[in-house]
């Protein structure tokens, strides 16, 4: 029987993490699915595990000083139930898994799993989200793109827990999210696209965020390309679509795998990008 901890408070959890370096289990939908016939962490050299999904400190959804703060153990269902959270995040979550999975899967688990097809990630990259990491003495914040290093790899230290996800409570006038998969429910994305945009009173594009999921080891976002579009009058956008599309063509380098092919992924990404930009003009 593997050692399991069930701390009552976050402080207790952090103390356990410091002394035992145990594997945190939030909803367990990734950990348990990774080892369906036996439980995670089984075997001689198996590390211990620690339940953290029930910790109330990690289950809060708060708005503070113009920023949303989501506890790491907030479930996907909690996000759907919270009508004031940004629509593009709730839409991405609605397209994830199934009701029964969303009732236990957590926001922090989706981030720490660091899968190229993690469906909350494109939104978090687009919003320049930060993650709050705590150990028993210190806390630090990292931008999401520095926390996620590659598939399954994060900057989390062995004595830390991800405690909060922070992003500006900033709504965009235009938002489009597309997840392309083999079926609607319980499907991992072949690719996904999220576009956010704002216009000013003079009809110029004042802000734009473009992210692509499942087509690279981590989410693709290129602020330098977004900057090239910012400030453009929408009436001139059509002269720039080919050029921007060509720039993203160079950037999006997906792979072939059992879910999809490189060509399909890239072409659909570019189509969705073009569609989004054309829609802005219309």
Partner 1 sequence: MQITFELNNETVCLDVDPLRPLLDVLREELGLTGTKRGCGEGECGACAVLVNDRLVNSCLLPVGAVVHGRVMTIEGFRQTGAYQRLAEAFTEAGAVQCGFCTPGMILAAAALLRRNSQPDETEIRAALAGNLCRCTGLNMIVEAVQLAARRGGAPW
**Footprint on this chain of partner 1 (rule: CB under 8 A):** 1-2, 4, 6, 25, 28-29, 32-33, 36-37, 39-42, 49, 51, 53-54, 77, 97-101, 103-104, 184-186
Q: How many helices and strands in the chain, by DSSP H and E?
A: 11, 14
Residue 112 makes contact with ligand FAD by CB under 6 A? yes
CB 119, min distance to ligand FAD, A: 4
- State the binding string over 59-78 for ligand FAD (x if CB under 6 A, else -): -------------x------
Measured CA to CA in angstroms, residue 16 lies from 47, 160, 189, 209, 255 at distances of 13, 10, 36, 40, 40
Contact range with ligand FAD by CB under 6 A, out of 2-10, 155-163, 215-223, 258-266: 155-163
As a residue count, the chain comes to 282
For residue 18, the surrounding DSSP H or E stretch is helix 10-20
Task: Please state, in angstroms and rounded to a whole number, the distance separating the CA atoms of residues 280 and 206.
Answer: 12
Stretch that binds ligand FAD, among 105-113, 232-240, 252-260, 265-273 (CB under 6 A): 105-113
| Closest CB to ligand FAD among residues 79, 268 | 79
Comparison of 21 and 203: residue with beta carbon closer to partner 1 = 21
Q: For every residue of 64-91, which 3-state class applies, written as one string?
A: ECCEEEEECCCEHHHHHHCCCCCHHHHH
Inter-axis angle of helices 262-281 and 241-251, to 10 degrees? 150
Shortest reach from residue 117's CB to ligand FAD, in Å: 6
> Cα separation of 113 and 276, whole Å?
29
Residue 156 interacting with ligand FAD (CB under 6 A): yes
8 A C-beta contact, residue 172 and residue 207: yes
Residue 271 touches which of ligand FAD, partner 1, none (Cβ within 5-8 Å per kind):
none
Q: Is residue 214 within the footprint of ligand FAD (CB under 6 A)?
A: no
Shortest distance, position 276 Cβ to partner 1, whole Å: 25
* Secondary structure percentages of the chain, helix, strand, coil, to 5: 35, 25, 40
Q: In angstroms, rounded to a whole number, what is the distance separating the alpha carbons of residues 83 and 126?
A: 20
Shortest Å, Cβ 37 to partner 1: 7
| 260 contacts ligand FAD (rule: CB under 6 A) | no
Q: Which residues bind ligand FAD (CB under 6 A)?
A: 23-31, 33, 52, 72, 96-97, 101, 105-106, 108-110, 112-113, 117-119, 156, 161-162, 186, 188
């Amino acid at each position: 029987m593997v050692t399991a901890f069930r701390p009552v408070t976050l402080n207790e959890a952090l103390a356990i993490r410091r002394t035992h370096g145990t594997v945190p289990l939030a909803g367990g939908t990734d950990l348990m699915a990774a080892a369906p016939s036996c439980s995670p962490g089984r075997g001689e050299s198996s590390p211990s595990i620690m339940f953290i999904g029930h910790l109330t400190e990690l289950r809060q959804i708060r708005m503070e000083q113009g920023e949303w703060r989501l506890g790491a153990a907030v479930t996907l269902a909690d996000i759907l139930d919270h009508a004031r959270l940004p629509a593009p995040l709730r839409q991405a979550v609605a397209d994830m898994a199934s009701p029964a999975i969303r009732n236990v899967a957590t926001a922090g688990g989706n981030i720490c799993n660091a899968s190229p097809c993690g469906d909350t990630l494109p939104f978090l990259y687009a919003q320049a989200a930060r993650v709050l990491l705590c150990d028993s003495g210190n806390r630090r914040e990292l931008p999401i793109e520095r926390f996620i290093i590659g598939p399954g790899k994060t900057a989390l230290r062995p004595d830390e827990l991800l405690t909060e996800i922070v992003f500006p409570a900033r709504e965009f006038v235009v938002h489009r999210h597309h997840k392309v998969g083999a079926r609607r429910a319980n499907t991992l994305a072949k690719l996904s696209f999220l576009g956010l945009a704002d216009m000013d009173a003079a009809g110029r594009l004042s802000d734009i965020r473009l992210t692509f999921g499942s087509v690279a080891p981590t989410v693709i976002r290129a602020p330098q390309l977004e900057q090239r579009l910012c400030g453009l009058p929408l009436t001139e956008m059509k002269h720039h679509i080919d050029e921007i599309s060509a720039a993203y063509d160079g950037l999006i380098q997906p792979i072939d795998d059992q879910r999809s092919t490189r060509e399909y992924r890239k072409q659909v990404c570019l189509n969705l990008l073009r569609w989004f930009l054309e829609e802005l003009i219309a």
